[in-house]
């Protein structure tokens, strides 16, 4: 059964400081739990509503040798971060923070995205296009915020996360001959200027309100712009990121 201490722990994991103290985060819903299991993520405990006994999900957990803790629908709703719970929660151990020593050939770099939904959606786009790492500035939204996790739809279990001083990261990338594409308002409409597709590249995107910080723009080797024909002056960050990732990966 789900104990009072379980409820206290799960509720506390809504806050960043307790996630950091325990090195745990919680996920909610069938889709996220299934993604975590299939990706062999370090799922610690699973909490299910009594109505899921002998369900397909329960049988799947048995196959993974996981014994869930059971509780009532009302108990799960108390813990849930959503208005209507699916009666399915789990705690997952945070993976080790990636280092600057092992960088993949392609990565997405995000400078201070503040909206959890945007961050999660960008992580999902990165995973969709086959990137293996997303790097975040320390001022970014917390990647393990429940809203980020829901928007990511399981992307967290397929990506390495690097939270670092971005200027240091970009300096290393330039030393290692990466091309650094930056989403800006006054760049080029296409990522390719006739050269062959680069073996190593990074896409740098800025915050929703302020774009890419000035001290980081100096590291951009290839400024990119998405041309529009309407009357609006900008695109949503996640839409722009998805378009630019599609262009770069298609190269």
pLDDT in tens, 92-138: 999 988 889 889 999 999 999 999 999 999 999 999 999 999 999 99
Give the torsion through C-alpha atoms of 110, 116, 118, 121, to 10 deg.
100
Q: 4-93 and 106-250 share one CATH topology?
A: no
Q: Which long-range contacts (CB under 8 A, 24 or more apart) does 186-193 make?
A: 186/223, 186/225, 187/222, 187/223, 187/224, 187/225, 188/222, 188/223, 188/224, 188/225, 189/224, 189/225, 189/226, 189/227, 190/224, 190/247, 191/222, 191/224, 191/244, 191/247, 191/248, 191/251, 192/251, 193/222
Q: Which residues of the chain have pLDDT under 70?
A: 190-197, 231-233, 251
Asked if 247 and 190 count as a contact pair (C-beta separation under 8 A), the reply is yes
Task: Say what the pLDDT of residue 84 is.
Answer: 83
CATH code for residues 106-250: 3.40.1280.10
Q: Which residues of 80-117 are buried (b: 16+ CB within 10 A; e: fewer)?
A: bbeeebbbbbbbbebeeebeeeebeebbbbbbbbebbb
Q: Which long-range contacts (CB under 8 A, 24 or more apart) does 175-180 make?
A: 176/103, 176/200, 178/202, 179/221, 179/222, 180/204, 180/219, 180/220, 180/221, 180/222
Helical spans, DSSP H, in the chain: 4-12, 16-22, 30-38, 56-63, 73-79, 116-128, 146-152, 166-175, 214-217, 237-250
* Domain limits, the chain: 4-93, 106-250
CATH superfamily of 4-93: Ribosomal protein L30/S12 (3.30.1330.30)
- Distance, in Å, from the CA atom of 6 to the CA atom of 8, rounded to the nearest integer, reads 5
Whether this prediction's pTM lies above 0.85 is answered by yes
In tens, the pLDDT along 40-63 reads 999 999 999 999 999 999 999 999
């Amino acid at each position: 059964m789900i104990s009072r201490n379980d409820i206290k722990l799960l509720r506390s994991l809504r806050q960043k400081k307790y996630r950091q103290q325990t090195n745990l985060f919680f996920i909610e819903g069938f889709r996220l739990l299934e993604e975590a299991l299939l990706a062999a993520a370090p799922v610690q405990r699973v909490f299910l509503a009594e109505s899921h006994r002998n369900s397909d999900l329960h049988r799947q957990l048995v196959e993974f040798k996981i014994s869930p803790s059971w509780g009532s629908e009302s108990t799960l709703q108390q813990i849930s971060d959503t208005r209507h719970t699916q009666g399915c929660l789990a705690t997952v151990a945070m993976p080790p923070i990636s280092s600057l020593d092992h960088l993949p050939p392609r990565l997405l770099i995000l400078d201070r995205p503040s909206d959890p939904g945007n961050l999660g959606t960008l992580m999902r786009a990165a995973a969709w296009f086959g990137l293996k790492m997303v790097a975040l500035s320390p001022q970014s939204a917390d990647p393990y915020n429940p809203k980020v996790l829901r928007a990511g739809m399981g992307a967290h279990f397929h990506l390495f996360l690097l939270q670092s001083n971005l200027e240091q990261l970009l300096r290393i990338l330039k030393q290692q001959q990466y091309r650094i594409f930056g989403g800006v308002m006054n760049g080029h409409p296409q990522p390719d200027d006739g050269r062959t597709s680069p073996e190593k590249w990074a896409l740098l995107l800025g915050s929703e309100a302020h774009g890419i910080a000035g001290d980081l723009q100096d590291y951009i080797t290839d400024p990119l712009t998405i041309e529009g024909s309407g009357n609006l002056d900008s695109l949503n960050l996640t839409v722009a990121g998805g378009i630019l990732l599609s262009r770069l990966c298609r190269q």
